[in-house]
A and B are shown apart, each in its own frame.
Chain A
C-alpha cells in the first residue's frame, strides 16, 4: 500500500513536471527566435523528469506497477460483488460505475508509465543491431549479454501491459453490464404490474394509520432526544442555516428588490418588468428556502444530530417542501391572481385563482406520494400499502391535471370565459387520462413516473420559458436601457444609451446561456440521468479537439479569451496609473508621456494576446508557421501597411512632433491630434481632420512650428506714401512693436525698410513671440496701433496709384469739329504701363483724388 502511494506521488510529480516543461518550452519558443537553444533546454528538462522514474531501478519499478495492478484488480472484484448485491438500487449502480471508470483510468495511467523506459530499450536494441547469423564473425560477449537483458526486461514489461489490457477490458465490460442493468431496472420499474385489488382492501387504511403512527413515534423520539441532550447543537445548526438563508433572501431583495415584489402602484408595468418580476419572484424566495433547508440538513449532519432512520426522512421531506414551494411561487408569478396587471398569462382573475390552487394541490399530491414511498422503504412496509398510496396519489394527480385542462380561463371576443386552445386542452386531458388508466391497470411505476414528470419537468420548463422570454425582451431594442438596472448603472458609471443597449444584448445572451446551463441538466436529472453522466459529458466538452495539427479545447479557448480580456484591462489600468500618477508628477513633456502611454498600450496588448493564446492551449510554434507564410504576404501585399506601422513606431520613438504640435506636412498645416501606429490625425485650423499615413511623415520633410519651443517670428508688412518722413515712420513702428506686451524683448523687435514699392515705401515689422500660436492676436493689435498712430501723425498709407496723362484731343478738334468717340478717346489715353492687357487697363483707370 505504502509503495503504491509513493508511486502515485511520483506520478503526479512527473505530471507536474511535464506541465512545467510545456510552459517553459512555450515561453522559450516565444522569446527566442533561434531554435537550437530551446531544443537543448527541453532535452535537459525531459531528462530531468525521467530521472525519478528510473532512479529506483527497472526491477523495483516493475514490482510497484505489478502491485498497483493487482490492487486495482482486487478493488474491481469488490465492486463486482457490490453490483450483485445492489442490483436494484440505481443510485448505487451509478456510483459503482464512477468508481470503475476511475479505476480504468488508473490502469491506463499505470501502463502509460512504461513508455519512456520501453522506448529507451527499443532505441538501445536498435543501436546494438540484429544478432549475428551463422557464419558471420561473432560479436563481443558484452553485446550479447546486454541484448538478452534488454529483451528480458521488455518481455516482462509486455507481460505486465498485457495484464493491464485484460484488466481494462474486464472493467469496461463490467461498466457495460451496469448500463444494461440500469436500463433493465428502469424498464422493470415502469412496466411492472402490481395487483391493485389487494391494495384496495379495508386493511390498507389501518396499515396506513399504523405507519403514520410509526413515523410520528420515530420523529418525536428523535426530537425529544435532541432537545434533551443536544439542544445547543440544534440551536446552533438552525441559527447558522437561518443566517445563510436570510443572507440570500435579503441579498437577493437588495439586489433585485423591485423584482421580487411587484410594485402595486404601477398601473401598466412593461412586458420586461413583468417578466423579470415573474422570474426573480420565483427564483429568489425558492432559492432561499432551498438554501435554508439544505444548510439545515448539512449542519444537522455536521453536528451528527441525524440518526440513520431520520436522515432519509428529513431529506425527502425537505425535497418535497422545496418542490411544493417552488411550484407555488412559479404559479403565483405566472398567474398573479390578485394583480391582473402583473399577470404573465392573459387569463381571467377567477380562473387564475383556481389554477393556482390546482397547481399547488397537484404538487402536494406528487410530493406526498414521493415522501410516503421513502417512509415505506425505510420501515420495510408491505407492498400493498405502497401500491395503495401511489394509486390514490397518482389518480388524484391525473384528475387534477384533467381539471386544469377543463378550466375555461381565457376571454372570447364578448368577454365570456373560453377554454384553453384545443391542442393544449387535449394534451392535458390525455396526460391525466394516461396517468389514471396506468394506475388503475396496476402500472403504478409508470403512473408515478408520469405524474412526477408532469409536475417537476413542467415546472422547470415553465421557468426556463420565462427565462427565455425575459432574455428576448431584454434583447429587444431600448428595453434594457429603460430598465431599473440600467438607470442605476447610468447613475454610477459612464455608460451612455448605446452602450446600455449593447449591454442589454449581452445580458440577454447571458440569461439564455444561464437558463440552458441550469435548466437542461435539471431536466436530464429528472429523466433518470445521473450527475455522473452529466459530469462525464462536460468533461468531454472540455476535452481537446483536433483540427489538423492544431488541437484546442472549448474551455481552453474561453480561458484564453478571459485571460486576454483581463490582460487588456490590466494594461489599460497600468497605462492610466503610469500616466496619471507617475509621469504626471515627473513634469514630463506631454508628447513623451503620450508616446510612452501609446507604446505601453501596444506592448501590453501583444503580451496579453500571447498569454491568451498560450492559455488557450494553442502551441505558439504552430503560429510561427503562419507567421512565416504571412511574412511572404507582407513582402507583397501588406508592404504599405507594414511600412506605415514601422513608421508609426519610429514616430513614437524619435518624436519629430507630438500631439498638440503645429506642423506643416504634405500640404497640410494643423495641430497633431493623435499619433496612431498606422496614421497620424492632424486637425487643420478649419477643424478638418486629416489622416496622414505615417510613412509620409517619415519619408518627407515635416515642418514643426512648436518642436522645441513655441517661440516664433512673425512679420507685418506695411507701406507708407512717398513723401512721408521715413525715419519718423521707422520710429513709430519700432515703438509700437516694443510696446506690445506679448512681443519678446530678446530677440529684439526689428523694423525693416524693405524697399521702394510701386506706390509706397515698404516697411516690415519683425517681432518674436514666445508663443507663435498667439500671432493672430498680436497681428491684430499691432495693425490697429499702426493705423491709430499713422492717423495721429498724418502719415498716409497709400494704395497702388497710377498717374494718368491725358494727351488732350485738341488738335483732333482742330482738324475736324467732331467730338471724339469713345474708342478714339481710349486710344488716346496713354498708360504708364502701356503693355498691360486691354481689360486690365480699363479697370485700373481711376481718378486721381487730388
Chain B
C-alpha cells in the first residue's frame, strides 16, 4: 500500500518534470556570437548564442527574430541553425 503511494507520487513527479524537458534548440554555426529575440507567452527576451554553442529555449511555442531580421514561429520541437546570421528551421 505504501509503496504503491510512493510509486504514484514518483510517477506524477516524473510526468511534471518530464513535461518541462520539452524545448526547441538553437545552434550557432558562425564564428561570432549571434543574438536572437524570443517572445514566449507575454515576455520578450534576447538570447545570445556563442560561436558553435547550442542553447535550449522555448518550452511551448514562441516567436523568434533571427539575427538578420527574419521572423519565425516555433512550436517547441524544432532545431534552429544559424549560419551567416540566417536562421534555418529543421
Q: Is A154 touching B70 in the complex (CB atoms < 8 A)? A: yes
How far does the alpha carbon of A22 sit from the alpha carbon of B72 in the complex, in Å?
A: 23
- Of all chain A residues, the one with the shortest Cβ separation from B88 is A122
How far does the alpha carbon of A157 sit from the alpha carbon of B71 in the complex, in Å?
A: 8
- Nearest chain B CB to A299 CB, angstrom units: 39
- Of all chain B residues, the one with the shortest Cβ separation from A513 is B8
Name the contact of A554 in the complex, choosing from B15, B63, B86, B88 (C-beta under 8 A).
Answer: B15
- Nearest chain A CB to B38 CB, angstrom units: 10
- Of all chain A residues, the one with the shortest Cβ separation from B39 is A165
Interface size on A, residues (CB 8 A): 36
How far does the alpha carbon of A471 sit from the alpha carbon of B8 in the complex, in Å?
A: 14
Q: Is B39 touching A169 in the complex (CB atoms < 8 A)? A: yes
- Nearest chain A CB to B37 CB, angstrom units: 9
Given contacts A122-B86, A168-B39, A540-B19, contact A162 B71 (CB under 8 A): yes
Q: For chain A, what secondary structure do more than half of its interface residues adopt (helix, strand, loop), or is it mixed?
A: helix
- Nearest chain A CB to B16 CB, angstrom units: 8
Asked if A563 is at the interface of the complex by the 8 Å CB criterion, the answer is no
Name the contact of A108 in the complex, choosing from B44, B73, B77, B89 (C-beta under 8 A).
Answer: B73
Q: Is A176 touching B4 in the complex (CB atoms < 8 A)? A: no
| B41-90, CB < 8 A from A | 41-44, 61, 63, 69-73, 75, 77, 86, 88-89
Q: Is A175 touching B71 in the complex (CB atoms < 8 A)? A: no
Q: Is B8 touching A161 in the complex (CB atoms < 8 A)? A: no
Chain A residues with Cβ below 8 Å from B16 are: 541
Asked if A111 is at the interface of the complex by the 8 Å CB criterion, the answer is yes
Binds B, one of A113-121, A255-263, A329-337: A113-121
Chain B residues with Cβ below 8 Å from A540 are: 19
Q: Is B42 touching A547 in the complex (CB atoms < 8 A)? A: no
How far does the alpha carbon of A162 sit from the alpha carbon of B23 in the complex, in Å?
A: 22
Chain B residues with Cβ below 8 Å from A115 are: 72-73, 89
Q: Is B73 touching A114 in the complex (CB atoms < 8 A)? A: yes
How far does the alpha carbon of A509 sit from the alpha carbon of B11 in the complex, in Å?
A: 14
Given contacts A154-B70, A169-B39, A169-B42, contact A111 B19 (CB under 8 A): no
Name the contact of B22 in the complex, choosing from A108, A509, A512, A544 (C-beta under 8 A).
Answer: A544
How far does the alpha carbon of A361 sit from the alpha carbon of B89 in the complex, in Å?
A: 65
Given contacts A108-B73, A115-B72, A546-B22, contact A161 B4 (CB under 8 A): no
Name the contact of B23 in the complex, choosing from A154, A165, A546 (C-beta under 8 A).
Answer: A546
Q: Is A472 touching B1 in the complex (CB atoms < 8 A)? A: yes
Asked if B6 is at the interface of the complex by the 8 Å CB criterion, the answer is no
Q: Is B77 touching A111 in the complex (CB atoms < 8 A)? A: no
Chain A residues with Cβ below 8 Å from B19 are: 540-541, 543, 545
Name the contact of A161 in the complex, choosing from B15, B22, B73, B77 (C-beta under 8 A).
Answer: B73
Q: For chain B, what secondary structure do more than half of its interface residues adopt (helix, strand, loop), or is it mixed?
A: mixed
How far does the alpha carbon of A509 sit from the alpha carbon of B7 in the complex, in Å?
A: 11
Asked if A288 is at the interface of the complex by the 8 Å CB criterion, the answer is no
Name the contact of B69 in the complex, choosing from A119, A158, A512, A545 (C-beta under 8 A).
Answer: A158
| A437-475, CB < 8 A from B | 471-472, 475
- Nearest chain A CB to B20 CB, angstrom units: 9
- Of all chain A residues, the one with the shortest Cβ separation from B11 is A554
Chain A residues with Cβ below 8 Å from B88 are: 119, 122
Asked if A187 is at the interface of the complex by the 8 Å CB criterion, the answer is no
Chain B residues with Cβ below 8 Å from A154 are: 70
How far does the alpha carbon of A161 sit from the alpha carbon of B39 in the complex, in Å?
A: 12
Q: Is A172 touching B73 in the complex (CB atoms < 8 A)? A: no
How far does the alpha carbon of A545 sit from the alpha carbon of B15 in the complex, in Å?
A: 8
Q: Is A158 touching B71 in the complex (CB atoms < 8 A)? A: yes
- Of all chain B residues, the one with the shortest Cβ separation from A476 is B1
Chain A residues with Cβ below 8 Å from B42 are: 169, 172-173, 175-176
Chain B residues with Cβ below 8 Å from A173 are: 42
- Of all chain B residues, the one with the shortest Cβ separation from A164 is B63
Given contacts A111-B63, A169-B42, contact A512 B71 (CB under 8 A): no
Q: Is A543 touching B22 in the complex (CB atoms < 8 A)? A: yes
- Of all chain B residues, the one with the shortest Cβ separation from A154 is B70
How far does the alpha carbon of A541 sit from the alpha carbon of B72 in the complex, in Å?
A: 27
Chain A residues with Cβ below 8 Å from B77 are: 544, 546, 551
Given contacts A516-B8, A545-B21, A547-B21, contact A111 B73 (CB under 8 A): yes
Asked if A209 is at the interface of the complex by the 8 Å CB criterion, the answer is no
How far does the alpha carbon of A676 sit from the alpha carbon of B13 in the complex, in Å?
A: 42
Name the contact of A541 in the complex, choosing from B4, B15, B21, B23 (C-beta under 8 A).
Answer: B15
Chain B residues with Cβ below 8 Å from A472 are: 1
Q: Is A165 touching B4 in the complex (CB atoms < 8 A)? A: no
Asked if A112 is at the interface of the complex by the 8 Å CB criterion, the answer is yes
How far does the alpha carbon of A122 sit from the alpha carbon of B43 in the complex, in Å?
A: 28
Chain B residues with Cβ below 8 Å from A475 are: 1, 4
Given contacts A115-B89, A168-B39, A176-B42, contact A545 B71 (CB under 8 A): no
Name the contact of B72 in the complex, choosing from A118, A176, A516, A546 (C-beta under 8 A).
Answer: A118
How far does the alpha carbon of A544 sit from the alpha carbon of B88 in the complex, in Å?
A: 23
- Of all chain A residues, the one with the shortest Cβ separation from B21 is A546
Given contacts A111-B63, A543-B19, A545-B19, contact A161 B1 (CB under 8 A): no
Q: Is B21 touching A509 in the complex (CB atoms < 8 A)? A: no
- Of all chain B residues, the one with the shortest Cβ separation from A105 is B61
How far does the alpha carbon of A172 sit from the alpha carbon of B39 in the complex, in Å?
A: 11
- Of all chain B residues, the one with the shortest Cβ separation from A469 is B1
Chain B residues with Cβ below 8 Å from A157 are: 71
Chain B residues with Cβ below 8 Å from A175 are: 42
Name the contact of A112 in the complex, choosing from B8, B23, B75 (C-beta under 8 A).
Answer: B75
Chain A residues with Cβ below 8 Å from B22 are: 543-546, 551
How far does the alpha carbon of A554 sit from the alpha carbon of B16 in the complex, in Å?
A: 11
Chain A residues with Cβ below 8 Å from B72 are: 115, 118, 161
Chain A residues with Cβ below 8 Å from B44 are: 169
Chain B residues with Cβ below 8 Å from A169 are: 39, 42-44
- Nearest chain B CB to A477 CB, angstrom units: 12
How far does the alpha carbon of A158 sit from the alpha carbon of B4 in the complex, in Å?
A: 53
How far does the alpha carbon of A157 sit from the alpha carbon of B39 in the complex, in Å?
A: 17
Of the listed residues B21, B39, B77, the one surrounded by the most CB atoms of chain A closer than 10 A to its CB is B39
**A111-B63, A161-B71, A546-B23 provided; 17 other pairs, C-beta below 8 A?**
A115-B72, A118-B70, A119-B88, A158-B69, A158-B70, A158-B71, A161-B73, A164-B63, A165-B39, A165-B63, A169-B39, A169-B43, A472-B1, A541-B16, A545-B15, A545-B18, A551-B77
Instruction: Please report A residues at the B interface, Cβ cutoff 8 Å.
Output: 108, 111-112, 114-115, 118-119, 122, 154, 157-158, 161-162, 164-165, 168-169, 172-173, 175-176, 471-472, 475, 509, 512, 516, 540-541, 543-547, 551, 554
The 20 sampled A-B contact pairs (Cβ below 8 Å) are A115-B73, A118-B70, A158-B69, A158-B70, A161-B71, A161-B73, A164-B63, A165-B71, A169-B44, A475-B1, A475-B4, A512-B4, A541-B16, A543-B22, A545-B22, A546-B21, A546-B22, A546-B23, A547-B18, A547-B21
8 A-B pairs with least C-beta separation? A172-B42, A161-B71, A165-B63, A545-B18, A111-B73, A173-B42, A546-B22, A172-B41
